[in-house]
Amino acid sequence: MTKSVLIFGAAGQLGVELVREFTARRAQVHPFTRRQIDLTDGAQVQRAIEQTQPDLVLNAAAYNMVDLAEQDPAGAYAVNALAVRSMAVACRQFDAKFVHFSTDYVFDGQRRVPYTENDPTHPLGAYAVSKLAGELYAQAYLDALVIRTAVVFGPGGRATPRGNFVETMLKKAEEQKTTGKPLLVVNDQTASPTYAPWLAARTADLVDLGQTGVFHGGGEQAVTFYDYAQLIFRAAKLEVNLQPADERQFRTPARRPKYSVLRNERMRALGLAPMPNLENLITEYLQGQ
């Protein structure tokens, strides 16, 4: 196990699980949150890595506001691409290994079978372009490990302002009690929701195995957001008037892939455990509420 680990984005959904997982595996963990560091300032990034002298840097920070990124592409690029470049440059300089997280949105969703690590990328908007640029920067200066994930949910999402899809659905169910209006959820976008504690554990496994290059780390269970909402309400034992909708009823500033299920081809080849059943994990998540 790596001895000293610096974690950027340590207060995010995935970040809190990485802190927990690497601490449990007896690493000396140095968590950095936005309160301590603005990652768009390259000098601050360099200083954090220089002062900590970690064996490994993990970057779980991101500008995740997919629609806002269309009005603020430079803001998304600063966090998702240029900050990653600062990290990679400093990791090379101070001989640290580097792990960075990316997204299923690097794909355009034209296929109907899960995407593997070898499939060509074609991002559809400012957020997705910035994340793909981050992947390239991560790998431009050293042999980084890049893990693409999707629709992340985890206990950290209960405390963060943006939360996650589970929290959004629970809030909408509560609102429905007063509005009485049906809850419309898109049924023509399919992805593979991913449980952050599982992803953190697989990340530590990949680090232990000395892996580099691009890996997929998604939940692998293909669901539309409507299906996902149904699973959430069933696990939460909530009666909700839920209705399927299509993307045209929710025209958002950003285009999104219609299908972005990830197949974890390289993890499978290494014999790493796939994510357990999604509904059981939603139940586990809800039990922690």
Active site residues: 127
How far is residue 279 from each of residues 18, 131, 221, 234, 260, measured CA to CA in Å?
22, 29, 10, 9, 19
Report the residue number whose CB is nearest to ligand NAP. 12
CB of 31 to ligand NAP, least distance (A): 11
Question: Contact between 38 and ligand NAP (CB under 6 A)?
Answer: yes
280 burial via Cβ count (<10 Å: 0-12, 13-18, 19+) = exposed
Site string for ligand NAP, 119-158 (x = CB under 6 A): ------------x-----------------xxxx------
Give the shortest CB-130-to-ligand NAP separation in angstroms. Answer: 9
Q: Which position among 5, 27, 58, 79 is part of the footprint of ligand NAP (CB under 6 A)? A: 79
Check binding of 12 to ligand NAP (CB under 6 A): yes
Q: Quick check: 103 binds ligand NAP (CB under 6 A)?
A: yes
Nearer to ligand NAP, 76 or 96 (CB): 76
Q: Which of 5, 7, 45, 62 binds ligand NAP (CB under 6 A)?
A: 62
Place of tokens 């976008």: 189
Residues 224/187, Cβ–Cβ less than 8 Å: yes
Q: Cβ distance 191 to 261 under 8 Å?
A: yes
Residue 263 CB neighbour total at 10 angstroms = 18
Which of 7, 11, 185, 186 is close enough to bind ligand NAP by CB under 6 A? 11
Q: Name the one residue in this structure whose structure tokens are 């506001």.
A: 65
Stretch that binds ligand NAP, among 58-66, 173-181, 202-210, 276-284 (CB under 6 A): 58-66
39 binds ligand NAP (CB under 6 A): yes
Q: Which residues bind ligand NAP (CB under 6 A)?
A: 9, 11-15, 34, 37-40, 60-64, 79, 101, 103-104, 131, 149-152, 160, 162
